[in-house]
Structure 1
């Protein structure tokens, strides 16, 4: 298991974490996530051991294996890399296969005892089980999905108890993600993953660990269960805050009322009238009692319901009434080998299309053919002359390399600096952050700038190539909501399977090219929604505590005052 106790870590002499504590039990599969910049990678590196905390304890009970986003470029062979997962046996294996007589004899008995002679065969079996049969390939030749499989094959030889995964689905195709999901489900040990892939989290997580404001909150269940719990949590906070405001208002009214009565009674009370003096004194006592209750209420004041910072965006599209926007006629294209042969299809007005397929199948190539950035080897791609396409490239090569974030936006729009700064704030760039040099921006920040530039494209058709790789879940969901309302067409390449619910057609690349309609989503029941809204509007509501009790003050008096 993993145990993190009161961990503190400082960044640039400021505390990033103050008192982080949580456990991941033996056999649990946990996912750590939070907004970009919350410190997930730093916390992950503390757990891995590449960083050291200023204070606190990190305990790892068992052998730990790590799967990183990408391996360092190396000429090491795949087989050698997997065998290195068992360093003790590898050293013996190298000794007994060295051909040096003295070295062989010294290691022979230990090699027999520890099974060093079987190491190579075990590594080949592990690779074969994971679909990697060519052990002579170099690590530098592997795709992102193959690198992930190679790391898992290496963990098989390490026989680890705990697996740490850093954004394991980034750059994997759908088939590889499904395979990884199955592997994690079957792994009997402890798993801790950083991930923003909602479908992956839903499929593998027993526990969600949310990192927010320097602390970790534990939620049982997968992502769907987490969102339900967060919604319930928000409602509880809102009710508690509403009760606090109502009680505070009542006490302030009563204090003001008693104060007025007391002043009037004190002014009119005669020295020769002990009853009047006693009445004034009683009013003063009641006023002081209410003031003490107000102090107690303020001391136990609940936190104001938190409004999470989100990207606020709504894409616009110039209307293009033409029926057909793009036509591909008998298109063929390839590099050394053909990728497509004799492919024909059309993109109609406001079509929403997913391009899917394994890594290397040519998804980005097909998109660039549609955009006109590549020319087909044969056949023809026709685009309507008034069609405006907004393109989001996964490599972000269209972004300027120099200047600040503010300058990048000003160069793509007719905005004043004040207007540009306001819009940047909607994309979570606040105050001096707008002056950050583009070269120093994170990939997540560059993605937000790329979306902001799309905002001004007035495109009829948005072409998005892996738009979510560097975005946190909250930003993904905001962009997804904006695209759902976008009135134009959409072409989407994404490994985030949840994103594909935005489309209604699929171009599937494989041994051939298959074009099909996606099963339609059920239409919203507008009448039922309107009935529900009317019921909510017409029903009398009371604030209650978690036990179902009414607010802790006299409801009848409150109603009389309201009347």
Structure 2
């Protein structure tokens, strides 16, 4: 269905890809993912034909349907926007609907042949199938993210599409819309290629994972969980093979040095009148050359070095607050002018981890802002412990300074020296001159990482996080998730990344009413200190060598030093 062969693409006169090659078979649901900046969207644009490769070929069989992250459109109704998705038929529709006799007669026969008179009804049926029949007259630019995604999918149902390309389709979708999209993708009987950082979507939908890293695409059958298992097995194999390579290399170098010393000594003491001594020196030279040949062969077949992923290093700290109850709400309402819901009461206890979920527009961010004191409730009482410190991550990143550099932003929100600030920025993937990047020029992913770093210094008892994973790649999400799992304080979380909700033990669900419930499944925080102690204990033992299947070798190859011929 889609085949990419040895594709090279240059960006700013430098190769972004040099030999990308992969294929997706008919009926497969493939997810393309990788670190931010690895070139996923560029690869997508090569598939759609928006960009042309410098070398290689791209073969795509069948009709392509495209769902973008955002819709940029002139003001028009949703119905008109969907009809315009078929440009040829829409141009004829305008002619035959114009009332201008000349235009009508000019386009009449072609319009009949293409069934243009049914275009409007087809668009209405497509929108109805996707639950948008009540939105036909709304301006396309006023729709929510989920509605815009459905609108794009509706255009695909109006024609036969063999391959659907989706670029980060779950960005800004609520959980209900993501569930709907998941079911749509699973029921679609064509081929799917998705760019996504949504691990749950990858688990639910993918039949193959395509990882883009260092300009190459590696194919892994199965979903995200299967990918993690396979890459971990790869890492273990690579580490073992590389350890054997390093050990054997050291052994050969030492043997070569020893033979060389013996040879030079024997050569210096050998006499012309002593053929035996000369022969011994020659034998040592032969053995030295043989070891040099083995070293060359070892280098020629050197195993690949285990990948060192660029991941942030984060561990949040929290001051101690021994009070049992941190926050209470009594008969509280919130909203704008009119309350969104009936009055409700609840409390946040020490160390509580709470998810706030609900459809887009249900008031999740408003509730969060009321709880942390950014907005006042419409009625009722909120009491916070006087010593309670709250760290806030806003999805709009409104608390980031608008001017200055990344380094200056960090120094302004902490009392650390510049050397320590640079070290911390390096842990968050800002290295060397990147620390002087003006905030106004930073990407959203870079701004998110800086916002987290500033949060690191808040020493908050309670972290309030509003969509912390938008614009972050999978590796960074997993590092943030790991850091939050060992954070000793409380957590208020709004996130469309369903993996993150495993960190919480209670949920406030906003819908027709407010429902507060205990989570059935919560993995609980990871005991990092115990993990470190275990690793220290394991590394105390002597190094052992294993074959590719993980079997212990019958002897330590380094003992060969004692068996010099």
TM-score bracket relative to the smaller structure:
over 0.9
Measure the CA separation in 2 of the matches of 1:499 and 1:116.
48
What's 1:4 paired with? 4
What's 2:37 paired with? 37
Q: Is the 8 A contact 2:502 2:521 kept in 1?
A: no
Q: Is the 8 A contact 1:244 1:301 kept in 2?
A: yes
Q: Deviations over 1:75-120 (max 9, x none)?
A: 2111111122333333333333322334334434443343222222
What's 1:395 paired with? 396
Q: Is the 8 A contact 2:486 2:526 kept in 1?
A: no
For structure 2, which runs of at least 5 residues remain unmatched after alignment?
none
Q: Secondary structure at the match of 2:342?
A: strand
69-78 vs 540-549, which deviates more?
540-549
Q: CA RMSD in A?
A: 2.6
Measure the CA separation in 1 of the matches of 2:545 and 2:46.
47
Measure the CA separation in 2 of the matches of 1:128 and 1:82.
12
Q: Secondary structure at the match of 1:407?
A: helix
Cα shift at 1:539 = 10
Equivalenced residue count is 559
Matched, 1:206 2:181: no
Cα shift at 1:410 = 0.6
112-121 vs 314-323, which deviates more?
112-121
Cα shift at 1:258 = 2.1
Of 535, 541, 546, the match for 1:543 = 546
What's 1:172 paired with? 173
Q: Is the 8 A contact 1:255 1:287 kept in 2?
A: yes
Cα shift at 1:547 = 9.4
Q: Is the 8 A contact 2:502 2:523 kept in 1?
A: no
Check 1:95–1:28 CA distance in 2 against 1; reply closer, same or farther (3 A cut): same
For structure 1, which runs of at least 5 residues remain unmatched after alignment?
none
What's 2:58 paired with? 58
Residue correspondence of structure 1 range 100-499 to structure 2 within 5 A: 100-133=100-133, 134-335=135-336, 337-499=338-500
Q: Is the 8 A contact 1:83 1:157 kept in 2?
A: no
Measure the CA separation in 1 of the matches of 2:21 and 2:99.
52
Q: Secondary structure at the match of 1:188?
A: coil
Q: Is the 8 A contact 2:7 2:55 kept in 1?
A: yes
15-24 vs 446-455, which deviates more?
15-24
Measure the CA separation in 2 of the matches of 1:545 and 1:302.
12
Check 1:558–1:282 CA distance in 2 against 1; reply closer, same or farther (3 A cut): closer
Q: Deviations over 1:50-91 (max 9, x none)?
A: 223233333322221111111115321111111223333333
Measure the CA separation in 2 of the matches of 1:525 and 1:451.
20
Q: Deviations over 1:233-260 (max 9, x none)?
A: 1112112111211211221222233223
Cα shift at 1:4 = 2.1
Q: Is the 8 A contact 2:485 2:524 kept in 1?
A: no
Check 1:441–1:531 CA distance in 2 against 1; reply closer, same or farther (3 A cut): closer
Q: Is the 8 A contact 1:331 1:340 kept in 2?
A: no
Q: Is the 8 A contact 1:26 1:189 kept in 2?
A: yes
Q: Deviations over 1:135-169 (max 9, x none)?
A: 11110110000000000001111322211111000
TM-score normalized with structure 2 length: 0.93
Measure the CA separation in 2 of the matches of 1:524 and 1:478.
14
Check 1:267–1:539 CA distance in 2 against 1; reply closer, same or farther (3 A cut): closer
Q: Secondary structure at the match of 1:374?
A: coil
Q: Is the 8 A contact 2:504 2:522 kept in 1?
A: no
Q: Is the 8 A contact 2:485 2:526 kept in 1?
A: no
Q: Secondary structure at the match of 2:545?
A: coil
TM-score normalized with structure 1 length: 0.93
Cα shift at 1:554 = 8.0
Q: Is the 8 A contact 1:66 1:165 kept in 2?
A: yes
114-123 vs 309-318, which deviates more?
114-123
Q: Is the 8 A contact 1:329 1:345 kept in 2?
A: yes
Measure the CA separation in 2 of the matches of 1:466 and 1:66.
26
Cα shift at 1:426 = 0.4
Cα shift at 1:5 = 2.3
Q: Is the 8 A contact 2:335 2:366 kept in 1?
A: no
Q: Deviations over 1:396-430 (max 9, x none)?
A: 01100111111100100111111111110000000
